[in-house]
């Protein structure tokens, strides 16, 4: 049986699908040159796929981790239910270690463990319940993204002409179960005939903007112009950009937001040029246990991402490297946070409640 989300969306890009007893992921490391899938049969293969960014984007990581729990449950040999639940927690611990910043990963794993704890019957009953929960997480994410798109459309600035929107990294169908968060808002604006074009930051060092966001826009026929990360201030000064929309990997209770490195500087120059800066993310991305962004862990990745592009080294031997994958944008720089329950000022997140 092949399972992809049943929710109708305009763009048929589903990065994660279950078939029979395994998962197929669109290999995002091979885009835009080749659209190919990777077969995932075990929880360890899923963990490695998350670590190596075959699948990436906070919501997509959460969905993938949920299916990783299903695969892990299928690997546990017969024994007592106590042994089964103990070994399932070991699977969960392995998946938790893959990416520290994206809170959706931990949210999805916790939901799967809660399902296992409350399910009565034998191990097969728990396995079945886990699969149903993972599928529900996937289905819910597409619905959530559609709702984010509609709420985002309602808060975009009114302009005499169609909007020109800048985005950073990739927040589209590839980063979710389908449709997207910030790119979902852009898709909704395009469908409503309110969008003139997208400006996509290339998003160094892994180039998710040029490789993934630009690819998704081309698939949908959305006009897209690629920028290097250093061009935003110049473009804003030239009155080329009406709004900025980005996603999030974790949001603190006060609205401080962790997102792909370069987001903070983009928010600063947006403020300097009076360009509204929006964050689009599901409520599952909000970590209400953190009062502010100072408690958000920032993943540091392999320095090779900085000193080479592909197999080509771009700097001399002997230099040092620093490669944080994320930065934290203070809440006061954010015009609104757009969720599936509405768009609010960062300080008003608690009024929406937790997911």
Residue 249 designated active-site? yes
Phi-psi region of 221 (alpha: psi -120 to 50; beta: other; left: phi over 0): left
Q: In what order do the strands lie in the sheet with 336-339?
A: 224-227, 195-201, 163-167, 243-246, 277-280, 336-339, 342-344
Selecting among 27, 141, 201, 249, the annotated active-site residue is: 249
- Write out the DSSP string of 242-298: SEEEE--SEEETTS-EEEETTHHHHHHHHHHTT--EEEE--GGGEETT-SSGGG---
58 marked as binding residue: yes
DSSP β-ladder status, 308-309 and 312-313: antiparallel
Residues 244 and 266 sit within 8 Å (Cβ to Cβ): yes
- In degrees and rounded to multiples of 5, residue 157 shows phi and psi of -65, 145
* Residues 209, 284: Cα–Cα separation, whole Å: 23
Cis bond upstream, residue 32 (ω within 30): yes
Q: What is the CA radius of gyration of the chain?
A: 20
259 marked as binding residue: yes
336 marked as binding residue: no
Q: Which pair of structure tokens corresponds to residue 51?
A: 């670590």
208 marked as binding residue: yes
The number of CA neighbours under 13 Å toward the Cβ of 218 is 11
Residue at token pair 């995002």: 28
260 marked as binding residue: yes
- Write out the DSSP string of 31-91: TTT---EEEE-SHHHHHHHHHTTSS-SHHHHHHHHHHHHHHHHHHSPS--HHHHHHHHHHH
Residues 4 and 14 sit within 8 Å (Cβ to Cβ): yes
* Residues 35, 173: Cα–Cα separation, whole Å: 14
57 marked as binding residue: yes
Annotated binding site for substrate: 56-58, 99, 208, 259-260
Residues carrying an active site annotation: 249
Annotated binding site: 56-58, 99, 208, 259-260
């Amino acid at each position: 049986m092949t399972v992809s989300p049943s929710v109708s969306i305009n763009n048929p890009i589903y990065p994660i699908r279950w078939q029979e007893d395994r998962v197929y992921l669109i290999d995002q490391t091979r885009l835009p040159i080749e659209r190919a899938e990777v077969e995932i049969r075990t929880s360890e293969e899923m963990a490695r796929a998350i670590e190596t960014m075959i699948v990436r984007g906070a919501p997509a990581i959460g969905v993938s981790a949920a299916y990783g729990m299903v695969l892990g449950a299928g690997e546990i040999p017969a024994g007592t239910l106590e042994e089964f639940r103990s070994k399932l927690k070991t699977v969960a611990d392995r998946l938790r270690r893959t990416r520290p910043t994206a809170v959706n990963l931990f949210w999805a794993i916790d939901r799967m463990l809660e399902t296992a704890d409350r399910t009565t019957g034998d191990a097969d009953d728990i396995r079945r319940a886990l699969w149903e929960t993972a599928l529900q997480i996937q289905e819910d994410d597409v619905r959530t993204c559609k709702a984010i798109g509609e709420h985002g459309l309602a808060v975009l600035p009114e302009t005499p002409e169609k909007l020109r929107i800048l985005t950073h990294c990739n927040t589209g169908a590839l980063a979710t179960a389908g449709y997207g968060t910030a790119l979902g808002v852009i898709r909704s604006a395009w469908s409503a005939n309110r969008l003139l074009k997208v400006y996509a930051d290339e998003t160094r060092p892994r180039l998710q903007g040029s490789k993934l966001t630009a690819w998704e826009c081309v698939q949908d026929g959305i006009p897209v112009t690629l920028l290097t990360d250093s061009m935003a201030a110049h473009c804003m000064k030239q009155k080329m950009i009406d709004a900025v929309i980005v996603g999030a990997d974790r949001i603190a209770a006060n609205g401080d937001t962790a997102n792909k490195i370069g987001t903070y500087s983009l928010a600063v120059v947006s403020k300097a040029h009076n360009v509204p800066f929006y964050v689009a993310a599901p409520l599952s991305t909000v970590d209400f246990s953190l009062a502010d962004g100072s408690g958000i862990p920032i993943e540091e990745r392999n320095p090779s991402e900085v000193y080479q592009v592909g197999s080509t080294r771009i700097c001399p031997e002997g230099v040092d490297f620093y490669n944080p994958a994320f930065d934290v944008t203070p809440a006061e720089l954010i015009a609104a946070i757009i969720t599936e329950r509405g768009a609010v000022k960062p300080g008003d997140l608690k009024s929406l409640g937790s997911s």
